[in-house]
Amino acid sequence: MPLLQIDEGGFTLDGAPFRLLSGGLHYFRVHPDQWADRLRKARLMGLNTIETYVPWNLHQPRPGRFVLDGGLDLPRFLDLAAAEGLYVLLRPGPYICAEWEGGGLPSWLLAEPDMRLRSRDPRFLAAVDDYLDRLLTPLRPYLATQGGPVLAVQVENEYGAYGDDTAYLEHLADSLRRCGVDVPLFTCDQPADLERGALPGVLATVNFGSRSAAHLAGLRAVRPEAPLMTTEFWIGWFDRWGAHHVVRDPDQAARELDELLATGASVNFYMFHGGTNFGFTNGANDKHTYRPTVTSYDYDAPLDEAGDPTPKYAAFRDVIAKYAPVPEGPVPPVGTKLAPRTVALTGTAGLREHAALLGTAVEASRPLAMEELEQDFGFVLYETALPVKGPALLEFERVRDRAQVFVDGQPVGVLERENHEHALAFTVPRAGCTLTVLVENQGRVNYGEGVHDRKGLLGKVLLDGAELAGWSSRPLPLTSLDALPFAASAATPVGPAFHRGTFEVTEPADAFLHLDGWTKGNAWINGFALGRYWSRGPQRSLYVPAPVLRPGTNEVVVLELHAAHRARTVDLRDAPDLGPTEE
């Protein structure tokens, strides 16, 4: 592979002037059987490079365990990129933001209450150094200096928006070099944070979505001799529950791209293809109010969530063709979709009734946080006895993030972090009643100081001012549902409960699971966790990748936390519903 060099005012590749035309494609947000398709479509749009983050929390789910296979087989992804003739910009973190759970930082770091993330806390740096060594040792052959596709590697991510500790960034850069990274390093920051996040001797790049000429002029003022590059050219945006689906006019985005490329700058689209926050992997923001991100990461990108070209694909390819060669031929066609059908969910299994099959309870004097239970994602089921009867006021110090409260199995209320709720009043029918609290981790905060985001019931729980003691804390990561004994039920059960159905497929194809009439929960097909749904919207369907399906009988399971659809049916359709856009 040719080597990228940073020369005065620009990039060269083996001595020839070179412009990075890159697009964001996160392998961990795309089914691995679809990586090759997405990479081919990137090349056909005129891109010469692919950018990807690396999610530390998935690759190292526990300190002593490192995963680099299956959907996390980054070496295979890099091989496929190279086979397609694409270079790679690698962004290993340790922090990635990405609207990803915890910004990619593993939850086990938070098991120590005073751990300071993204800092020179020796415990954090030791964990980072171990992670980088485990990740980069097998990736050395993929560096351009070794004949691989990786042209450059990022140091941290938008650190200027978080802190100004240059020594911390220097430690990370030194760690990358110690791990054998001998390709150029770079940082990226938003315009106002450039000087705080830049590192002497390292390429500084800027992130923005408009006013390209002005922002690049700001970068030139900070680094007069360096190449101009935007690592994140925001051509869309992400969605949060309870808001509108965000879109950006393709013609306007194309004009902004034209303005950017006219300056001679290099670019990385954020995103070229957004993909999906499968399972429980979505992040959240908390700027005084907690706002979880939806399952879809469609991002209004040139390729939609199912990998189909959008109007931006053609508009951007036309602009790129003004500045660089673009492969000939038409825009790739829309992929085949599964024929629509309705699926009846005839089997039911209550969550509380079968909780012991899903996780082992831990007894303690107080509720234990999810991190204390060595749990990353999912739910925690808490139980204790209520010592008195009659009217009662229940107060929680902190609920992270959504608590459903039951007394002897009967629902008495819901407390939501985003509404700053922490107390419930109800009547206890008898002394010794069982208080059950099901707490959902709706996504750890991925930006700012909020990344120190522990989950579950944190702190004291008071009943009429007196602290409740003697708690059972049961982790429910829901990584497997195989043990659940589904049974037919004539009545529609009140949640939380799992509902199961089957359907037949002749030839697998992409589909969208629509959950009209359901309230809130999660869905799986053939054991693959599709993600969260919520009638709050905007998103009202879940993407089903074709490789998740199989010829013959397929299984769908829905965990409904509240009221199930009256007919207990779901629909598989050939188009998504990401919700209304803002007028």
Of 280, 274, 331, 281, nearest to 578 by C-alpha is: 274
Q: Which amino acid is at 236?
A: G
Catalytic-residue membership of 232: yes
Task: Give the burial class of 475: count Cβ atoms within 10 A of its Cβ; 0-12 exposed, 13-18 middle, 19 or more buried.
Answer: buried
CA distance 262 to 254: 12
Task: Give me the catalytic one of 158, 371, 383, 440.
Answer: 158
Catalytic-residue membership of 195: no
CA distance 501 to 239: 30
**How many CB atoms lie under 10 A from the CB of residue 200?**
9
Q: Classify the C-alpha dihedral 184-188-194-195 as positive or negative.
A: negative
Phi/psi of residue 492, nearest 5 degrees: -80, 110
Give the contacts of 326 (CB within 8 A, at least 6 positions apart): 45, 46, 317, 320
Give the contacts of 497 (CB within 8 A, at least 6 positions apart): 348, 349, 350, 351, 559, 560, 564
Contact predicate 144/3, CB 8 Å? yes
Give the contacts of 388 (CB within 8 A, at least 6 positions apart): 428, 431, 463, 464
CA distance 75 to 81: 10
Task: Give me the catalytic one of 84, 99, 232, 372.
Answer: 232
Q: Which amino acid is at 158?
A: E
Active-site residue list: 158, 232
